[in-house]
């Protein structure tokens, strides 16, 4: 796991010092080594910057930026190619010669052999940039699921790319102008969905996409090489539940074992829930030594999963590490969040994720996280609730639904209370399940963000507006799971884990996000995921093969902390400062009266949804760090 950055500057004013500063801003992603390469050509200067967290081939032969002997192609690479040994052997049979044992060199040879199509052969998590000197192009790629982040910026003859936005701030020509339309998306969802970012002219490369920047004519071309939609649109297969369980477990075993490949110690985050227990159980079953597992807990029972995790670890016989955090330790993370999450981010579970990453880093350099189990197998409570809503709405004729929508009053109201009438009107106006799922689950509706941000906001197209691509999917649950996989999972969960682990210089790996799993699970009947009585049906069946059901049966818990009470008590001074009248008024895009009303209602115990205020609090905290202090 590493941090990459670089530029193409047609003004020629970028320097080695600028490149070094960009790279150094990512030192937390790679404290073990640093590399910078600077090129001057007839019409531009080009820089490639790198910070290394050594995981594979710990020798200097793994240094980046890396080039083959001809020096015609150079690469900076963040991530892991898990099948690099197989690809290495194939490339050797085709006449390629290797000087290291790193997966980075395999990427370069694969690009030399197969060109841009090399990404089709990679099994892993990755974000990389290859500078092709012969063709004068930059070739950027992001893995299929979006485990690894990759940002880019293009304005006034300057192209920048980096693992995190903070690197851009180190370049003097970077213009940090707020994209208010993208900010509206943040308030709707708690994150800014790709391809957008908080700044104008700045974007996230979408998962499963490549970008080619032609330096000769300054043309950017973005292409899709993989899309989860295709797997779901392929239709369902006819298979029995027992055969599906056996086949899925075999695929899990392959994916999980791949993610144990490393030349440094590896561990597993274990909450005691089904997803992480599945990872720990299958790894321990196939390991000759004890798997290291890590859990943090809290003193308050409602937020403490440590007891559950300990029971699972004891049964499996893992080498288990447990740490009970004080709330003071958790609270001390809050003011540091904008440094790690360098665009507005509203998921408060970033706090415990950061804590468990810091704890695990004392013992291992790589940790496996069990994210995506819910998105693959319908594990969230909202999956059942929303499919019920969508089924009932589908019974209403389209003409009647739109007529009812037009007849509902169009009243603006205070943001202290969610405008349920506004949601109902918007839900009735649309007919496809993806659009309805979006509206039902928004924290602020689009109209409410216009009130919060003082004006009419341009409505940006996201995954939620791609319902037309799902025409062959005939069940609402599949539409919901696919949408979650391409939205919430990518831009909330994976961003959260990447920034939290990297803030502790810990490599986070995602075994459920092997693309082969998605391609397989998408074909399974939806009843294998959720039926009338159970959610995560198939996943639970696999876990029960290895851990008694009596140990696993418990209510689902989120990975959270009690920020609602903290802000009234221990963190009250910080709350009062961040959301003071002066602070709110200083941010011109926010409507002072709306924010002040929510703040005062919360302090008086009248705010019905604290998440709405937490999103504002997190945004103001971010704004003060990156728009004022920088």
DSSP notation for 467-530? GGGGTT---HHHHHHHHHHHTHIIIIIIHHHHHHHHHTT-EEE-GGG-HHHHHHHTTS-GGGTB
**Residue 201's pLDDT is what?**
98
Q: Indicate if 129 belongs to the active site.
A: no
Whether the pLDDT of residue 607 is over 70: the answer is yes
Of 260-264, 299-303, 397-401, least confident by mean pLDDT is 299-303
Confidence of residue 559 (pLDDT cuts 50, 70, 90): low
**Residue 146's pLDDT is what?**
98
The single-letter DSSP state of residue 299 is S
**Residue 473's pLDDT is what?**
81
CA distances to 233, 343, 459 from 182, rounded to whole Å, are: 29, 11, 9
Of 12-26, 87-101, 209-223, 458-472, least confident by mean pLDDT is 458-472
| Measured distance CA(548)–CA(533) in Å, rounded | 19
Report the predicted TM-score, pTM, of the whole model to 2 decimal places.
0.95
Q: Which fold has domain 2-226?
A: 3.60.20
Work out the percent of the chain whose per-residue pLDDT is above 90: 80
Task: Output the DSSP codes for 170-224.
Answer: GSTT----B-HHHHHHHHHHSS--TTB-SBTTEEEPPTTEEEEEETTTTEEEEEE
**Residue 630's pLDDT is what?**
58
The single-letter DSSP state of residue 626 is I
Residue 388 host element (H or E): helix 381-394
CATH of 235-378+487-552, one of 3.90.1170.30, 3.40.50.300, 3.40.50.620, 3.40.50.2300: 3.40.50.620
Contact 272, 308 (CB under 8 A): yes
3-class DSSP assignment, residue 229: helix
Confidence of residue 557 (pLDDT cuts 50, 70, 90): low
Q: In terms of Cα–Cα distance, which of 479, 463, 454 is closest to 529? A: 479
Rg over CA atoms, the chain: 24
CA distances to 147, 184, 512 from 373, rounded to whole Å, are: 14, 29, 7
What's phi and psi for 471, nearest 5 deg? -60, -30
| Measured distance CA(544)–CA(529) in Å, rounded | 15
**Which position among 2, 118, 129, 202 bears the catalytic label?**
2
Residues of the chain within CATH 3.40.50.620 domain(s) are: 235-378+487-552
**Residue 446's pLDDT is what?**
92
CA distances to 486, 572, 628 from 583, rounded to whole Å, are: 35, 15, 11
Residues of the chain within CATH 3.60.20.10 domain(s) are: 2-226
**Residue 558's pLDDT is what?**
62
**Residue 1's pLDDT is what?**
64
């Amino acid at each position: 796991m590493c941090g990459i950055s670089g530029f193409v500057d047609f003004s020629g004013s970028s320097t080695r010092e600028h490149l070094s500063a960009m790279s150094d801003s990512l030192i937390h992603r790679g404290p073990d080594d640093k590399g910078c390469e600077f090129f001057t050509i007839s019409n531009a200067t080009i820089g490639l910057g790198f910070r290394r967290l050594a995981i594979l081939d710990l020798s200097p032969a793994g240094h980046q930026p890396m080039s083959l002997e001809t020096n015609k192609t150079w690469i900076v690479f963040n991530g892991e190619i898990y099948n690099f040994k197989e690809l290495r052997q194939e490339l050797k049979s085709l006449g390629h010669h290797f000087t290291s044992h790193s997966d980075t060199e395999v990427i370069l040879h694969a690009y030399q052999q197969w060109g841009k199509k090399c990404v089709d052969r990679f099994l892993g998590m990755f974000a990389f940039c290859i500078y092709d000197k012969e063709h004068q192009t930059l070739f950027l790629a992001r893995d299929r699921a979006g485990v690894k982040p990759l940002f880019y910026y293009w304005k006034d003859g300057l192209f920048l790319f980096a693992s995190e936005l903070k690197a851009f701030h180190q370049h003097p020509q970077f213009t940090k102008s707020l994209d208010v339309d993208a900010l509206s998306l943040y308030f709707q969802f708690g994150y800014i969905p790709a391809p957008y970012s908080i700044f104008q002219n700045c974007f996230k490369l979408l998962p499963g996409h490549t970008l080619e920047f032609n330096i000769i004519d300054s043309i950017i071309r973005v292409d899709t090489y993989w899309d989860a939609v295709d797997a779901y649109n392929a239709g369902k297969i006819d298979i029995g539940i027992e055969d599906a369980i056996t086949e899925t477990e075999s695929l899990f075993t392959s994916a999980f074992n791949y993610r144990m490949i490393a030349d440094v110690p590896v561990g597993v985050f274990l909450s005691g829930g089904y997803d992480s227990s599945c990872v720990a159980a299958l790894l321990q079953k196939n390991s000759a030594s004890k798997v290291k597992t890590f859990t943090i807990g809290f003193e308050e029972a409602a937020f403490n999963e440590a007891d559950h995790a300990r029971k699972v670890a004891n049964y499996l016989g893992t080498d288990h590490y447990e740490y009970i955090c004080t709330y003071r330790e958790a609270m001390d993370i809050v003011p540091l969040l904008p440094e790690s999450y360098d665009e507005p981010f509203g998921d408060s579970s970033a706090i415990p994720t950061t804590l468990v990453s810091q704890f695990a880093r004392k013992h291992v350099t790589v940790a496996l996280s069990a994210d995506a189990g819910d998105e693959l197998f319908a594990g969230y409570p909202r999956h059942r609730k929303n499919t019920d809503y969508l089924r009932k709405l589908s019974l209403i004729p389209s003409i009647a639904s739109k007529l009812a929508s037009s007849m509902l009053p169009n009243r603006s109201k205070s943001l202290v209370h969610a405008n349920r009438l506004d949601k109902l009107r918007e839900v009735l106006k649309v007919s496809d399940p993806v659009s309805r799922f979006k509206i039902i689950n928004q924290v602020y509706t689009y109209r409410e963000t216009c009130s919060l941000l003082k004006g009419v906001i341009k409505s940006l197209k996201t995954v939620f507006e791609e319902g037309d691509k799902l025409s062959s999917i005939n069940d609402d649950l599949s539409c919901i799971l696919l949408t979650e996989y391409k939205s919430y999972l990518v831009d909330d969960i994976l961003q959260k884990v990447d920034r939290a682990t990297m803030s502790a210089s810990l490599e986070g790996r995602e075994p459920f996000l092997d693309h082969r799993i998605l391609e397989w699970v998408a074909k399974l009947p939806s009843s294998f995921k959720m039926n009338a009585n159970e959610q995560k049906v198939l996943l639970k069946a696999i876990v029960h093969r290895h851990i008694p059901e009596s140990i696993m049966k418990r209510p689902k818990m989120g990975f959270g902390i009690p920020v609602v009470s903290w802000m009234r008590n221990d963190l009250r001074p910080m709350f009062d400062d961040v959301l003071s009248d002066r602070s709110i008024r200083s941010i011109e895009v926010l409507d002072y009266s709306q924010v002040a009303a929510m703040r005062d209602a919360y302090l008086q115990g009248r705010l019905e949804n604290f998440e709405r205020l937490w999103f504002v609090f997190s945004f103001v905290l971010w704004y003060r760090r990156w728009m004022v202090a920088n």
